[in-house]
Amino acid sequence: MKKKSAYHLVISLGAVLLTLQALLLVSLLTRERRDVNEGDEDLGEFLNVTNLIGLPVVILDHHILNRIEGASSVASIKSRQKCLTCLTSKPILLAVEYKRVNPLKENAFINKLAEYDFSVVVLYNKSPLEVVPSLDQVPIAYVCKRRIPIVVSLLHEREGNFWWTGQVYSDPEAELKLQTLGLASKDLNSLEREGALDKFEVTTHQLSDFSSPFTTPLNVYSFFREFRQSHFKECSWHRALEFEKKYGSTRKTPDGRWFAHRAWKILDRAKTILDGLDVPFWISSGTCLGYFRQCDIIPHAKDVDIGIFAKDFKKQIVPAFVARGMALKHHFGRLNDSLELSFLDLSSGVKLDLFFFYEGKAGENHRIKTDTSSAYRNKIIWNGGTQAKTGKKFKYIFPPISLCWTEFLALKVRIPCNTLDYILANYGHDWKVPVSVWDWKSSPPNVIPNGEWPQSEWPEVIRVYYPELQIAKFQYKK
């Protein structure tokens, strides 16, 4: 009898557990279905509002874009997933051009959203790392929530013909504002740092479940790649003003103004060429020092300097520069060792140096002349130098770098994100003080001897040309 009772008890407990599991499953499915509906419903209502007031927004949420791009047709988007916002990380990211949001539209936008039960907070660029007058106190994002949070990043047009986006931490009141929506600054991953985006074309989609059409980037994969690499760092105008107060204007002489203008034109031309070849580059050496110290070209510099990773070399580089009026001046090294190209602008005589960088392992001799040894413990990057008359080789050691965007003289160009470490390696702790005498073989604190090229290899690794002979009048004065 006891065995029979125990058996019935086990059966009963099993039935109860199965019932609880079924109820839990139903609850989860119901909650998932509710979240699904809430996501699409809130996004749909939001799009209705923006269409009503004529405010064109672009969906940048990578989960939604992936779904749209992965569908064979617009009609099949919904068949691939239960909803457009399924599994989308929250908040959902949208964007709008700031120039389309004047004060009247901003108020109309917020008021209209309130009619649809959306709560809205506005984040401002109140305390940025670097202050730019035109971007001081401007709004950088609208954070909206009814049930699902939506972030609208504002695209600010910059002089360099790109869009700048702000970061959440530039608003000292962001945490308090976001708490009213049940969010925190860390939830806004898309706004954790400033960004720079090239202007992109868009395309429009119309789905049956959405009464309003919505817009996305036309080339999603290209946008993804750029968005991942969009980290932006502003030039320090405060540092530049301090330098000018101490040492005077960087363009106080006619020769200085002339060189700065010509250097800018050459940098602009190099950007056009290398961007066209899809070769990433950054401003290096003296050009990078001028940017970091003065937000300008160093007027007594003799050339423009660019860094490129050797792995990004393309054989089209030389003919592309030659076709744009830049004659090859010298070709040192080889692709796998100390490659350096130098061009001369035939219209002015100003030189452009392309230094190719290699990855390597740090050694004790790499830390002799620098105090930034912590960055050298495991890996380094380096570029080579060659003395044409002796065949001697030199190596310039830098800490590993990642690349960020900046705006330099109205050009969107890359810099090392760890710019100060890069400058310290190349110029030491006296980088703030301008110098007029500089020996490329001994002055940099990061230079070390690197052997010699065998004379039998000179015809290949030391190729010197004389484009100066093609210049009718050499205008630049040293």
pLDDT tens digits, 347-382: 888 999 999 999 998 765 555 444 444 545 678 999
Under the banding of pLDDT at 50, 70 and 90, the label for residue 249 is confident
Percentage, residues of the chain above pLDDT 70: 83
Please tell me which residue, 34 or 180, carries the higher pLDDT value. Answer: 180
Under the banding of pLDDT at 50, 70 and 90, the label for residue 255 is confident
| Amino acid identity, position 42 | D
The Cα-based distances of 102 to 4, 159, 357, 391 in angstroms read: 79, 19, 46, 62
Under the banding of pLDDT at 50, 70 and 90, the label for residue 32 is very low
Nearest to 289 by CA among 61, 182, 444: 444
The pLDDT value recorded for residue 186 is 93
Nearest to 174 by CA among 124, 235, 117: 124
Q: Return the structure tokens found at 325.
A: 């009026």
The pLDDT value recorded for residue 368 is 40
The pLDDT value recorded for residue 75 is 44
The pLDDT value recorded for residue 79 is 44
Q: Is-contact 120 144, C-beta < 8 A?
A: yes
The pLDDT value recorded for residue 369 is 45
- Across the range 416-428, mean pLDDT stands at 97
* Each residue's pLDDT tens digit, 148-207: 999 999 999 999 999 999 999 999 999 999 999 999 999 999 999 999 999 999 999 887
The pLDDT value recorded for residue 385 is 97
Nearest to 280 by CA among 426, 415, 409: 415
The pLDDT value recorded for residue 477 is 35
Concatenating the DSSP letter of every residue in 304-372 gives EEEEEEGGG--TTHHHHHHHTTEEEEEEEEETTEEEEEEEEETTT--EEEEEEEEEEE--GGGGSS-S-
Alpha helices in 53-133 (DSSP H): 62-70, 77-80, 103-115
- Across the range 425-442, mean pLDDT stands at 92
Q: Return the structure tokens found at 74.
A: 């617009």
Task: Give the start-end residues of each E strand in 104-186.
Answer: 119-124, 139-145, 149-157, 162-165
- Across the range 123-138, mean pLDDT stands at 89
In whole angstroms, give the CA distance from residue 403 to residue 415.
6
Residue 411: count of CB within 10 angstroms of its CB? 18
In whole angstroms, give the CA distance from residue 85 to residue 90.
9
Q: Which letter does DSSP use for residue 265 in this model?
A: H
Under the banding of pLDDT at 50, 70 and 90, the label for residue 3 is low
Q: With 90 as the cut, is the pLDDT of residue 468 above it?
A: no
User: What's the gap between Cα 456 and its chain centre?
Assistant: 44
- Across the range 65-74, mean pLDDT stands at 64
The Cα-based distances of 166 to 28, 86, 315, 337 in angstroms read: 37, 27, 38, 40
Average pLDDT, the chain: 86
